[in-house]
């Protein structure tokens, strides 16, 4: 009982400082990762699984508090959040005063388990780790023979590391990390305030690789280029623009710096296509985007990007500034940098599960909520031989989505479309 009463506190990682400042009902900074099972989800067992798994993950078992100078985490002693059947649109704001003060939620719909996470806790890699352990625990409860075979603990390769890898790998740098040139923004009639349109495109990785081979680019480069191409064609109609079409592309830093942290550890690079003449071909756009990304995704540049942010956090004078003043400054900086991006395309990567659980799992989905200036976003994840590109949008028009999947079809990639029903109404 003594251990249960112990309250620990923890700092937010370097990236996380921004999220509580800018988050609210209109911009939740919540992402969703879902697992699709081959059977209907049983609510009671999922609740039991969450109650079993949560105490292992200190990074999720927290509430957020604010001090004089910084926000911080403290151990949340309340019971695990209540697992509910999904009843509203995804990625809505997680109020600190509801949900038993937890900063994530778990719900389900038919055979799908959804994990929604306020980005202040962790990035997509941390979310996947938690969701996989939750799923394994659920399947063991639902299938006693599986539990007898696998035991009842965490997988041996699951990391519970909570270091701030930004600080650990920080080297002094004076370069400013991010450009702030205003980008082209996709606009149009918006859906209702609480609505989020979700469109999944499922495609075989084999055919996708063939198309990438034709253009001599990686899967990530190809899909980012196709997304920017669809904005160029559907919104600018192939015409020149004074402003570039720019996509944030988050890069997972763990492989570059030998990190296994569960906290946020990523930076943003930008794929930039500036249409300065008429009628670029898709080949040209793909080459421009690939070159743009390749020039940035190397250890030295990635180190410079987060070093600039960490240097601000370590600055003695800035550290002594009260939190409410820091918040004003961070909102201003965020607003300026947000205008420099048209969209975001993030790649969660290939999700691996333990062999013993594969027969029960059909696939995964992942997607992002909207943010300032970005009314349409893309998220990539894959499982076994299928890749899913999910487009989220708060716009009623689906021209960008249609243009993107049409581009893939023209390159010989068969795409199966699923939506959350917003566009059928």
pLDDT digits (tens, 9 = 90+) for 367-384: 999 999 999 999 999 999
Rg of the chain in Å (alpha carbons) = 21
pLDDT of residue 278: 87
Q: Residue 89 and residue 154: Cα distance in Å, rounded?
A: 31
CB contact burial 199-228 (16+ within 10 A = b; e otherwise):
bbbbbebebbeebbeebebbbbbbbbbbbb
| Tokens standing for residue 132 | 């996989």
pLDDT of residue 4: 52
Q: Nearest CA to 390 among 359, 358, 424, 364?
A: 364
| Tokens standing for residue 24 | 């609210």
Which residues are within 8 A (CB) of 63 and not within 5 positions of it... i.e. 6 or more apart? Answer: 73, 74, 75, 76, 96, 101, 102, 103
Q: Residue 121 and residue 141: Cα distance in Å, rounded?
A: 27
Among 1-5, 138-142, 207-211, 297-301, the least confident range:
1-5
Q: Residue 175 and residue 270: Cα distance in Å, rounded?
A: 16
Q: Residue 222 and residue 388: Cα distance in Å, rounded?
A: 14
Q: Nearest CA to 364 among 133, 146, 114?
A: 114
For residues 324 and 123, the model is more confident at 123
pLDDT of residue 311: 75
pLDDT of residue 325: 79
Q: Nearest CA to 124 among 381, 298, 343?
A: 381
For residues 105 and 335, the model is more confident at 105
pLDDT digits (tens, 9 = 90+) for 285-340: 999 999 999 999 999 999 998 887 787 666 655 666 777 777 788 888 788 888 89
Contact 91, 28 (CB under 8 A): yes
> Would you call 154 exposed, middle or buried from its count of C-beta atoms within 10 A (0-12, 13-18, 19+)?
middle
Q: To which H or E segment does residue 142 belong? A: helix 124-142
pLDDT digits (tens, 9 = 90+) for 34-48: 999 999 999 999 999
This prediction's pTM: 0.94
Q: Residue 32 and residue 20: Cα distance in Å, rounded?
A: 18
pLDDT of residue 392: 98
């Amino acid at each position: 009982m003594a251990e249960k009463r112990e309250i620990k506190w923890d700092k937010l990682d370097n990236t996380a400082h921004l999220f509580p400042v800018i988050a609210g009902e209109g911009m939740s900074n919540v992402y969703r990762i879902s697992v699709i099972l081959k059977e209907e989800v049983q609510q009671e067992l999922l609740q039991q699984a969450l109650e079993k798994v949560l105490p292992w993950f200190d990074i999720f078992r927290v509430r957020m508090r604010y001090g004089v100078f910084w926000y911080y985490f403290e151990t949340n002693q309340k019971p695990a959040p209540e697992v509910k059947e999904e009843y509203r649109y995804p990625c809505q704001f997680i109020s600190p005063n509801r949900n038993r003060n937890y900063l994530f939620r778990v719900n389900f719909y038919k055979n799908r388990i959804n994990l929604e996470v306020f980005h202040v806790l962790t990035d997509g890699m941390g979310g996947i780790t938690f969701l996989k352990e939750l799923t394994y625990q659920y399947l063991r409860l639902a299938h006693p023979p599986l539990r007898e075979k696998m035991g009842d603990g965490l997988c041996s390769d699951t990391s519970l590391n909570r270091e701030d890898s930004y600080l650990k790998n920080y080297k002094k740098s004076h370069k400013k990390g991010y450009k702030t040139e205003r980008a082209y923004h996709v606009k149009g009639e918006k859906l209702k305030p609480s609505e989020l349109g979700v469109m999944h495109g499922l495609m075989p990785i084999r055919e996708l690789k063939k198309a990438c081979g034709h253009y001599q680019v990686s899967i990530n480069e190809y899909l980012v280029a196709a997304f920017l191409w669809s904005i160029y064609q559907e919104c600018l109609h192939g015409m020149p623009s004074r402003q570039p079409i720019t996509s944030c592309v988050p890069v997972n830093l763990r492989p570059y710096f030998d990190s296994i942290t569960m906290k946020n550890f990523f930076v943003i690079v930008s794929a930039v296509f500036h249409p300065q003449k008429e009628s670029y071909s898709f080949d040209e756009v793909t080459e421009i985007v690939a070159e743009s990304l390749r020039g940035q995704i190397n250890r030295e540049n990635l180190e410079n990007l987060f070093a600039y942010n960490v240097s601000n956090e370590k600055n003695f004078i800035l550290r002594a500034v009260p939190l409410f003043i820091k918040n004003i400054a961070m909102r201003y900086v965020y607003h300026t940098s947000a205008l420099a991006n048209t969209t975001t395309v993030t790649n969660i990567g290939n999700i691996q599960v333990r062999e013993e659980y594969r027969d029960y799992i059909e696939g995964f989905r992942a997607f992002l909520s909207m943010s300032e200036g970005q009314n349409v976003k893309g998220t990539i994840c894959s499982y076994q031989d299928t890749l899913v590109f999910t487009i989220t949008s708060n716009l009623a028009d689906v021209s960008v989505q249609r243009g993107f999947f049409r581009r893939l079809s023209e390159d010989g990639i068969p795409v199966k479309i699923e939506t959350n029903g917003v566009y059928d109404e």
